[in-house]
Structure 1
Amino acid sequence: MTIFESKRVRDIKKAQKEKLLFRELSQLFLQATIDDSRLRDVYVNRVALSADKSICFIYFYSPQGPAFFEEKLDILKLYKPSLRKAIAEKIDARYTPDLVFKYDEQYEKIEKMENLFEQIKKSDK
C-alpha cells in the first residue's frame, strides 16, 4: 500500500465517522429540541472531525443569524456532557471526541454569492 492509498483510506474512514456522528448528533439534538423549546430555530448543519479525531466540531445554523446562535450557545453547552455520553454509548469507538459548538457561516456565504450572481445577471441585461 502506498502513502497515497493509506491517506485515501484514512480520509474515507474519517468521512464515515463524520457521517455517523452527524446522524447520531442530529437525532440527539432533535430530541433535545423537543424537550427544551429554548433550542428551537437552531439546527445541526454539519459535523467535522479534527485531524486526530479527538475533537468533533458541530456546526449549527439558525435562520435568525449568528447573534441568535450566540444567545443559545450557553444552553447548548449545558447539553455537552449528556450528548458526549450518549455518543459514547451509541458509537462503538475507542475514544469519544470532545464536542465543540460553532456557528456555520457556510450557508450565509452561499447566500451572499447567489445574491452577487443575481446582481451580475441583472446588470448584464
Structure 2
Amino acid sequence: MNHSSNLSFIKRSQKESLLLRELSKMLLQLSLDDSELSGLFINRVELSKNKGVCIIYFYDPNGPEVFEQKKRRLILYKPSLRKGIAMTLDGRYTPELKFAFDEQFEKQQRIENLIETVKKDFDKTN
C-alpha cells in the first residue's frame, strides 16, 4: 500500500468514525422522541468508494423483520439526518443515506454463543 492510498484509507476511516458518532447521537435523540424507534441502534457505517453513499448498518435485537418495520419510520427522518450530517461534516457534499440491517453482527453473536457453549461443555468434562 503506497503512502497516498494509506492516507486515503485513514481519512475514510476517520470520516466513517465521525459519521458513526454523529448518527448515533441523532438516533438516540430520535428514539427518545419517537418510541417506535426504541431498541434500534447503529452498529457501523460504511462509505462507498466515491463517498457519495453512506450505508448505515442497524441492529435490532428483535430481528430483521422488526427492523424492516422501523426502517419505514427511519426513512421519514432521512432529510433531517442528512441535514444534521451536513452541518457536522466539513465537506462539499453530504452522502446519500441508506439503511440496512447488520447481519454480520448477528453472525458474530451466534459464533460467540457457540464458543461459550463449547467452553462450558469443555469445562464440565475437565
TM over 0.5: yes
The number of aligned residues is 123
TM-score by length of 2: 0.89
In structure 1, stretches of 5+ residues that fail to align are: none
**Residue 112 of structure 1, CA deviation:** 1.6
Moved more, 68-77 or 115-124: 115-124
The superposition leaves residues 62-113 of structure 1 with CA deviations (integer Å, 9 ceiling, x where unpaired) of 1111111011110000001111011111222111000000011122111221
2:100 is paired with a residue of what secondary structure? strand
State the SS of the aligned residue for 1:100: strand
Q: Secondary structure of 2:67's partner? A: helix
Correspondence for 1:22: 20
**TM-score between both structures, scaled by the size of structure 1:** 0.90
Cα distance in 2 between the residues matched to 1:14 and 1:58 = 15
Instruction: Give, in angstroms, the shift of residue 21 of structure 1.
Output: 0.8
Shift of 1:7: 0.7
Q: Deviations over 1:31-79 (max 9, x none)?
A: 1111111100111111111111110011111111111101111000000
Q: For residue 89 of structure 1, what is the aligned residue in structure 2? A: 87
In the alignment, the residues of structure 1 paired with residue 116 and residue 32 of structure 2 have an alpha-carbon distance, to the nearest angstrom, of 38
Matches within 5 A, 1:1-125: 4-121=2-119, 122=121, 125=125
Q: Counterparts of 1:119 and 1:30 in 2: how far apart (Å)?
A: 33
Deviations 1:1-48 (A, max 9, x none): xx6111100000000000111111111111111111110011111111
SS in 1 for 2:43: strand
Give identity over the alignment, percent.
52
When the two chains are superposed, the root-mean-square deviation of aligned CA atoms in Å is 1.6
Q: Which amino acid aligns with 1:22?
A: L
